[in-house]
Amino acid sequence: MNIGEAAAASGVSAKMIRYYESIGLVPHAVRTEAGYRVYGDNDIHTLRFIRRARDLGFSVAQMETLLALWSDRSRASADVRRVALDHIEELERKMKQMASMTHALRHLVQHCHGDGRPDCPILEDLSHGEERAPAPAKATRRAARGGAPVS
């Protein structure tokens, strides 16, 4: 099948297929005498693997590792598990960062009058950039009493 058909069958756009080939994530496709790329069932299977890994948020480097592990029939599942666990930790760290950003923005929005006046705490905060630390997260009741935070 050609690149358009491979894209439709795998869920990976033609542009991304070309990109993955250019960075070596997937091997360059066989070409016809006219220079058109030709893809087979194994290529589609690999592209679907990449699509699912991408949907789960794996980076290109992680996908490269997972593809190598997938093709290595003598690999230990513990190696694959480690990649997935590392990714989970990374996702959880990013979720905490997102929650912190949401909290800071919510705090700023609550202090913005949202009326016709020109003063705006949101713009004021943004204009200070790195000068000012982000708004602290609310402490839990236990932390406020000097104990360990309760989740």
Global pTM exceeds 0.85: no
The per-residue pLDDT for range 133-151, each reduced to its tens digit, is: 555 555 444 444 444 444 3
Yes or no: say if 86 and 47 are a contact pair by the CB < 8 Å rule: no
Q: Per-residue pLDDT tens for 58-103?
A: 999 999 999 999 999 999 999 999 999 999 999 999 999 999 999 9
CB atoms within 10 A of CB 5: 13
Q: Which residues of 57-77 are buried (b: 16+ CB within 10 A; e: fewer)?
A: ebeeebbbbbbebeeeeeeee
Q: CA distances (Å), 87 to each of 54, 55, 114, 125, in order?
A: 12, 13, 40, 33
65 half-sphere exposure, CB direction, 13 A CA radius = 14
Q: Which of 89, 25, 88 is nearest to 60 (CA)?
A: 25
Question: What domains, with CATH codes, occur in the chain?
Answer: 3-71 (1.10.1660.10), 91-140 (no CATH)
| Half-sphere exposure (Cβ direction) of 4: Cα atoms closer than 13 Å | 1
pLDDT digits (tens, 9 = 90+) for 24-33: 999 999 999 9
The one-letter code for the residue type at 113 is H
Q: Can you tell me the distance from the alpha carbon of 61 to that of 67, in angstroms, rounded to the nearest whole number?
A: 10
